[in-house]
Structure 1
Amino acid sequence: MDANMVIKKPPSSSSSHDEIMKLKVKAAMRLVLMAVFLGSLFMWIMMPTNTYKQDWLPTIRSKTNSTYFGTEGATLLIYTFPVLFIAAVGCVFLHFGTKLNNISKMQSNGKNHKFATWKQPALVKGPLGIVSGIELGFFIMFIALLVWSFATYLCNKFAKITPSSAAKNGEEVWQSKLDTAGLILGLVGNICLAFLFFPVTRGSSVLPIFGLTSEGSIKYHIWIGHIVMTFFTAHGICYLLYWALTNNISQMLHWEKTGVSNVAGELALLAGLAMWFTTFPRIRRKFFELFFYTHYLYILFMIFFILHVGFTFCTMMLPSFYLFVVDRYLRFLQSRQNVRLISARVLPGQTLELNFAKSLGLRYNPLSVVFINVPGISKLQWHPFTVTSNSNLEGDKLSVVVKGDGSWTKKLYQMLSSPSPIQRLEVSVEGPYGPASTDIFRFDTLVMVSGGSGITPFISIIRELMFMSNTPMNCKTPKVILISAFKNSSDLTMLDLILPISATPASDISKLQLQIEAFITREEEPKTDNSMPGLRAIWFKPHATDAHLSAILGPNSWLWLGMIIASSFVIFLLLTGIITRYYIYPIDHNTNNIFSTSWRAAINMLVLCFCIAMIASVAVFWNKRQNASEAKQVQNMKQGAMGSPSSYHDMELESLPRQSLAQAINVHFGGRPDLKRMLLGCKGSSIKVLASGPKRLRHEVAAICSSGSADNLHFESISFTW
């Protein structure tokens, strides 16, 4: 038996009691987090009202205003602290959830599907893509919040504009209203900015609480980004018109010592417009590298935005960006080290499987994603790929499949498929990132529909089910139907990747109810010649500087992340309080001098980055020492366990798993699958339908599942495209 295979025993009565207690604690934490979230959301709703501005805010400021934080203390308390509290406590919540994940696999009754109707696609075609009922509901509520805020601000502020008040400023009423309208557009845009960075925080502890992943939430970032730039562009245009019509265009060159800086705002807007222009689908697809590199302008955008409005006002938008900076720095630290690439499997059709060495403590769920950088191709470009391996089935390896669709992937394929392949490839990896848990065990039948390389997310699911079906956990695995469409018969070799490169007792696929329907769309009949190339294995030489891929914060990564968020924020508060009290406060209360708003914002940004870098570096260094000792133990325990070309050959040609896989495959030539007939013909009380691949295919499957012809189909779209 493989030393890496984990056999999990049924829980005893004492362990069951502990698990019940953990479930109760988790439920209590969920209630607390939900209460804090709703309270924070309520403050955003009340912010535009006169009640908030005239009654609530002055009262809060009177109790929080001090020589240490000033007016900044109120906004930190109202807007920053609740979200960071959710993020920190959410880490503990997810830590319990990770420990209890196997219990949910045991309780796979196929009956418990809360909010199943709301999770069905409500919109299939249109600018928003495939949108479920829950997503549509939250999107409508978010738009309602923006409309409510804009209308309330407009009503309250326009009511104060009168001919006499405008005359005092030497303006007409319409000019004052144009000035106010520009301000209101900026205020509403700030609400969007407060949510912009949550979806792109890959190691977020906030998204999993709501059952979301970063890759699955990219569309929310796109939606919010378009809305943000619409409001900020309108905000800038209004002020340009206002200055031009009031013969005050010189305001464009003003960088005030206190208050709002116009120049910083203009620079932020220019950086935002450059990013926005390259995000439109036609430009992004045709000039991806332009889109990729231009998006780094977010750094300048945020710096100049903070200098534009000041750090005190920015604390309302700080939480999502704070969590993003924590995540980005952890990713930076993880990417500094080369990961050992053990082997590669070269397939026809410009497809590769890369196998990395990983630590035994690195665990991840199916549908996880890693980001890969190959300095030999590009030192800056990072590309996401679905993890096809399973951390239970393959304890010491992590695998991804790379399809040569773009220039970067084609160059990688050429490097590894040449007659004299390279002996070593420098590779850096970020991740893996994935769902905190999966619900595939709660269904009677699992139908997976893929097109081309869209099959790669399903390989990890099949391997997970393969492992569960071969362990004594008394866990009933669902019946699996894989419907795959390929252009050419040479692409059928991708089905061979379902089996791991090294055969183990747990990789016996015969115990899994697996049915594979493969469709070759561009060939009418099978080829009779044997000229089609098969799989070819490449083995790389190890290098002393290469490390095993491991979680950047170790096995208890959620607890470490919670510690980093909480500790760095507390130290940030202490340092900014000290600086304000003993450096800024004396200058502000000197009648001859006032401390610059921009300099104060710059100091706060530097302190924030310093606190995050210091605490995160300590946490990573501590876990790096633990990972290094574990890697040495594994190397001493297993010499040469990574496999060899001969072991690969034996697994491919002689193993029973390969024979069982071949028996499960039915190949159809000359057409696309009749998805409507196949999906509606599936029997079972609860059927999970997963679609991955081209947009057209995913939309077709979504339309079938939401048509109302069958109420037992539960649809989920898997898309990792930007």
Structure 2
Amino acid sequence: MTMSALQPLLSSEDVKPGYLKKRSFLVPLVKWVLKAIMLVIFFAWVVSIFLYPAEFMRPIYQKWYNLTDGTIFGFTGSLFLLFSGPILLIAFLSFLYLLVSGEEELEEYVISRKKETKFPKFRLWTFPVLVDGPFGVVSAAEFIGIILFAAYILWAVSIYTIQHFNLLSKFDLPSKEKSLFMLELSGLRFGTIGLFCLAFLFLPIARGSILLRFINIPFEHATRYHIWLGHLTMMIFTLHGVCYVIAWAIQGTLLEELLQWKNIGVAILPGVISLAAGLLMWVTSLHPVRKHYFELFFYTHQLYVVFVVFLALHVGDFLFSIAAGGIFLFLLDRFLRFCQSRKTVDVISATCLPCGTVELVLSKPRYLRYNALSFVFLQVRESSLLQWHPFSVSSSPLDGSYHLSVLIKVLGEWTKKLRDNIIDVREGEQPGLTTSVEGPYGHESAYHLMYENLILVAGGIGISPFLAILSDIFHRIKEKKPCLPRKVLVIWAVKKSKELSLFSALDVESITPSFTEKLQLEIQNYVTQESEAPLEEGKQSKSTNSFKNAKNSSMSALVGTGNTIWAGIYVVLSTIGFIILMGLLDLFYIKPFQINSWWFKGLLFVVSMIASVLIFGGLVVILWNLWEKRSLGHENHMIDDEKNDRKQILETLMKPNDTSQEKLELARLTTTRYGHRPDFQEIFESVSECWGPVNIGVIVCGPPTLQTSVARECRSQNLRGRRNGPLFHFNSHSFDL
């Protein structure tokens, strides 16, 4: 591997005049202030949760509860403000932050980072600490988070246990009764701890949440946090139930207690139903079940509705308000996803590659933004009316303003039905594909553009997002847009050589005539199950069906990185609506009719949450859709022009003997090894010698074994700490539900 040093791909002078607006110094100041305020609020929220078990905090909390005493919100309002209010307030401020940042924030940020990346810089989020074990690959930042959660659980259990012993020591009771009281008190405290864990559980799975967009955590990473929190939460709630069950069984009142449904106090039977639903979701979400019986996992996970509703009936409105903030943000996101998924999306073209992969080109509106590492959830009704499957976007946002592409590997029944529907479409007939899309989801900013040096490691169909990255870089070279990457090494492992035809989806010659002047690119292919090149190597053929678009129906921008203003209005107005509904209920129903039942007030609380999303949020969605239709009316003629351009590109790619200079150049940069797997130690050491003391972004997309191997080597290289060596920043782009 011979690599020479190059000058940065683009400097600020290379950018077209007027491309970046001159920003007032007030904008960075406002952003800094907003970040500081959000950090203080989040820190105060976490501290209030962490210190809740401590006895010395009780007078402080009592003063806080007295603030709303006598108001229409009462004790419930105090708990809601203390434990749910902060996360909703952070969501509001996130909306303001994204609004201030503007659409060109990424490009300006990329340019500003050039001075910061001259020397290797350690980052908590990209330094792998654990590479094996139940958590998979864990970064230093994630490891700190795991330790903090574990510390909270140990702290809370210890404090409560000491308090229980001190309390029971004041009473002269037989040891058996003391043990039973201890079990019941422990069960009560485990329930409290579980509620605080539940406050975090729903935050990561709000796929298009404006909060996740601000934190810049993509949904595929946030899903892992939800899985970890789900295991922890259900473990705590199970201990909560087991403690009571053992105590009641010893007393001989188990069945009687389990069937209790009190009006005043905790209603037991709803809690049993909630826990049963949670346990069923928990068992079917374990990796062996999820891997081999995905549909069972998917359908049983819809029991979260039963789990949440009956939990509210179990604990009442004031205790449920502890976890209500995260659940409310999830409801907002779920309603938006439901509205987005009702819309049918046009398939502009479908391409069947000989390696058993399908490329779908989907219509989208111009104002729907995404980046090269985004992914979408796709439903094809001819394959299944219920199933949604995630796929990485294989196109760059600069490939076209009105379409995006996905590559789908044909593996199971769903994908086989999809391929058969495409092949069966005859010329001149309407396509047998009725598609709906959720997303796109992903990082708010394209982090691959923030490294001057990139190593892209793919396994099989994992090359899909890297095709988008390369296309994005090529477009930026052509259009002189801000872009840091100047050295890119692609490592791609496939089982059979026919899979290499996936690279034909990357249309280099139509993007930029000569990228080698500004980008040092090397592609290393590894064919693991073939010892030598087949005779037909280099001959690429594919069948293409270009569908006629009759409805001009594009993706909806309700979810993902769509319009920030509409998304912010939706969150703010729905939250205000929820507060108004709760106030009206208290004034005109709860107090006049003296409603005191805990379970019924818990039900009213949940109904108010749902009603506020449907009524106030639904009004915003209606106006948002009207704005979308008006915007699309001005774009239809431009969409048709782009579709014609796309058709010409597809026809060019179908030529069997294309020997253009650009393809020859790309072939010259590619080496293919047969019968070997990548030796990451050898590759990384060679890169270290050639590239020197720089930051290197390593992005992996492939099976867990591939991620583990690359993460282990990144950790090994970084821990060696060579004086003149690079620092490898590990990033995973593999999605796993």
Q: Which range, TM-score by smaller chain?
A: over 0.9
**Residues 1:236 and 2:236 aligned together:** no
CA contact (8 A) 2:474 2:511 kept: no
Match of 2:735 in 1: 720
Name the residue aligned to 2:714. 705
CA offset digits 1:490-535 (Å, max 9, x no partner): 10111112228xx755586555432111111111111114797622
Deviation for aligned residue 1:472: 2.9
Counterpart contact for 1:257–1:598, Cα < 8 Å: yes
Query: Residues 507 and 220 from structure 1, CA distance in 2 versus in 1: closer, same or farther, beyond 3 angstroms?
Result: farther
Q: Which secondary structure state, in structure 2, belongs to the residue aligned with residue 195 of structure 1?
A: helix
Q: d(CA) in 2 for partners of 1:444 and 1:407?
A: 41
- Paired residues of 1:339 and 1:356 also in contact (CA < 8 A): yes
The answer to which of 486-495 and 599-608 deviates more is 599-608
Q: Give the direction of change, closer, same or farther, for the CA distance of 1:355–1:582 in structure 2 (3 Å limit).
A: same
What are the residue-to-residue correspondences of 1:605-684 with 2, within 5 Å? Answer: 605-637=606-638, 639=640, 641-643=642-644, 647-653=649-655, 654=658, 657-682=662-687, 683-684=690-691
- 1:225 CA drift (Å): 0.8
Superposed CA deviations along residues 391-415 of structure 1, whole A, max 9, x for unmatched, are 2232111111111223322221232
Letter in 2 for 1:69: F
Q: Which residue of 2 aligns with 1:523?
A: 530
- The yes-or-no answer on 1:69 pairing with 2:70 is no
Q: TM-score, normalised by structure 1?
A: 0.92
Q: State whether structure 2 residue 162 is matched by structure 1 residue 161.
A: no
Gaps of 5+ in 2: 1-13
Are residues 1:464 and 2:468 paired?
Answer: no
The equivalent position to 1:185 in structure 2, one of 165, 186, 190, is 190
Alignment map for 1:206-285 (pairs within 5 Å):
206-249=211-254, 250-285=256-291
Alignment partners' CA distance in 1, 2:515 and 2:227? 40
Quote how far apart the aligned CAs of 1:652 are: 4.8
Distance change (3 Å), C-alpha of 1:570 and 1:203: same
Question: Following TM superposition, by how much is the alpha carbon of 1:632 offset from its aligned partner in structure 2, in angstroms?
Answer: 2.5
8 Å CA contact 2:197–2:229 kept in 1: the answer is yes
1:488 — aligned with what?
496
Whether the aligned pair in 1 keeps the contact of 2:383 and 2:417 (CA below 8 Å) is yes
Which of 344, 365, 379 is the matching residue for 1:338? 344
Deviates more, 1:138-147 or 1:413-422: 413-422
CA distance in 2, matches of 1:605, 1:95: 31
> Where in structure 1 are there 5+ consecutive unaligned residues?
1-6, 589-593
Deviation at 1:616, TM superposition (A): 2.5
Alignment of 1:124 onto 2:125: no
Whether contact under 8 Å (1:403, 1:453) holds in the other structure is: yes
Q: 2:62 aligns with which of 53, 58, 75?
A: 58
What one-letter code is carried by the residue in structure 2 that aligns with 1:697? Answer: L
* Residue 577 of structure 1, CA deviation: 1.3
Q: Is the 8 A contact 2:83 2:322 kept in 1?
A: yes
Amino acid at match of 2:650: Y
> Distance in 2 between the 1:117 and 1:322 partners?
30
The verdict on how the C-alpha distance between 1:12 and 1:631 changes in structure 2, with shifts beyond 3 A counting, is: closer
Give yes or no for contact 1:519–1:667 (8 Å, CA) kept in 2.
yes
CA distance in 1 between counterparts of 2:482 and 2:260 reads 71
Q: CA deviation at 1:182?
A: 1.1
Shift of residue 277, structure 1, vs aligned partner? 0.8
Are 1:318 and 2:319 an aligned pair? no
Q: Which is worse superposed, 660-669 or 571-580?
A: 660-669
Residue of structure 2 aligned with 1:87, choices 80, 88, 91: 91
> Which residue does 1:288 correspond to in 2?
294
Pick from 132, 135, 150: which aligns with 2:142?
A: 135
2:456 is the alignment partner of 1:448: yes
* Paired residue type of 1:30: K
Instruction: Return the alpha-carbon distance in structure 2 between the equivalents of residues 507 and 321 of structure 1.
Output: 51
Q: Distance between the aligned counterparts of 2:220 and 2:270, measured in 1?
A: 32
What is the rounded CA distance, in whole Å, between the counterparts of 2:199 and 2:47 in structure 1?
14
Q: 2:73–2:583: 8 Å Cα contact kept in structure 1?
A: yes
Structure 1 residue 16 displacement after superposition: 1.9
Alignment correspondent of 2:152: 145
Q: Which whole-Å deviations, capped at 9, do the CAs of 1:150-195 have from their partners, x for residues lacking one?
A: 111222233212473758xx98111111111111111111121111
Pair 1:439-2:439 in alignment? no
Residues 35 and 134 of structure 1, relative CA distance in 2, 3 Å threshold? same
CA distance in 1, matches of 2:482, 2:247: 72
Shift of the 638–213 alpha-carbon distance from structure 1 to 2, 3 Å rule, reads closer
> Identity percentage over the alignment?
31
Distance in 1 between residues matched to 2:669 and 2:372, nearest whole Å: 22
- Change in Cα spacing, 1:358 to 1:464, as seen in structure 2 (3 Å) is same
Shift of 1:387: 0.8
Q: Which residue of 2 aligns with 1:591?
A: none
> Which residue of 1 is the match for residue 550 of structure 2?
543
- SS where residue 449 of structure 1 aligns? strand
Distance 1:32 1:611 in 2: 27
Distance 1:61 1:529 in 2: 76
The answer as to 2:176 corresponding to 1:174 is no
For residues 657-702 of structure 1, give each alpha carbon's deviation from its aligned partner in whole angstroms, at most 9, with x where no partner exists: 4444333322221211222111221132221111111111111111
Q: Distance in 2 between matches of 1:321 and 1:131?
A: 26
Contact conserved, 1:652 with 1:658, CA < 8 A, in 2?
no
Cα gap change, 1:220/1:10 in structure 2, threshold over 3 Å: closer, same or farther? same
Who is 2:565 aligned against?
A: 559
Secondary structure, counterpart of 1:189 in structure 2: helix
Correspondence for 2:9: none
Counterpart CA distance in 2 for 1:692 and 1:27 is 34
Q: Per the alignment, do residues 8 and 622 of structure 1 end up closer, same or farther by CA in structure 2, a change over 3 Å counting?
A: farther
Q: Does 2:394 correspond to 1:403?
A: no
Structure 1 residue 317, shift from structure 2 partner: 0.5
1:478-517 correspondence runs (5 A): 478-499=486-507, 504-505=510-511, 509-510=515-516, 512-517=519-524
- Give the secondary-structure state (helix, strand or coil) at the position aligned to 2:359: strand
Q: Which moved more, 1:256-265 or 1:185-194?
A: 185-194
What RMSD in Å do the two structures reach over aligned CA positions? 2.5
Equivalent residue of 1:206, what SS? helix
SS at match of 1:339: coil
> 2: distance between equivalents of 1:142 and 1:235?
18
What is the alpha-carbon distance in structure 1 between the residues aligned to residue 366 and residue 231 of structure 2? 42
Rounded Cα–Cα distance in structure 2 between residues aligned with 1:420 and 1:325: 42
- Report if aligned partners of 1:261, 1:307 keep a CA contact under 8 Å in 2: yes
SS of 1:160's equivalent in the other structure is helix
Residue 597 of structure 1 corresponds to: 598
TM norm structure 2: 0.90
Q: Distance in 1 between matches of 2:327 and 2:290?
A: 24
Tell me: CA distance 1:272–1:486, structure 2 relative to 1, closer, same or farther (3 Å). same
Match in the other structure for 1:47? 52
- CA shift digits 1:225-266 (9 cap, x unpaired): 111111111111111111111122211111111221110000
